[in-house]
Amino acid sequence: MTPILYLIGLSLLLGGGGLALFLWASRSGQYDDMDGAANRILFDDPPGETPPPAQSQPARPYPEKR
């Protein structure tokens, strides 16, 4: 009977933690613009506003041997 009491306490603790994280996220504005990113990817940027491509170095598959 004792293990079930520990499991009930653990589940209440995890559920309360999940609820606290959800409330924090909703109060900090994480869910304010749900459609913005979904719509933004569908449309091209206006001409002239795109930044130049970043200069990157080719990836090396293995580290250099010394």
Band (50; pLDDT cuts 50, 70, 90): low
Band (59; pLDDT cuts 50, 70, 90): low
Q: How far apart are CA 25 and CA 18, in angstroms?
A: 11
Q: Is 25:31 a contact under the CB 8 Å cutoff?
A: yes
Please report the pLDDT score of residue 42 as a whole number: 82
Mean pLDDT in residue range 30-53: 75
Using the CB atoms, write b or e for 21-50: b if 16+ within 10 Å: eeeeeeeeeeeeeeeeeeeeeeeeeeeeee
- How much is the pTM? 0.51
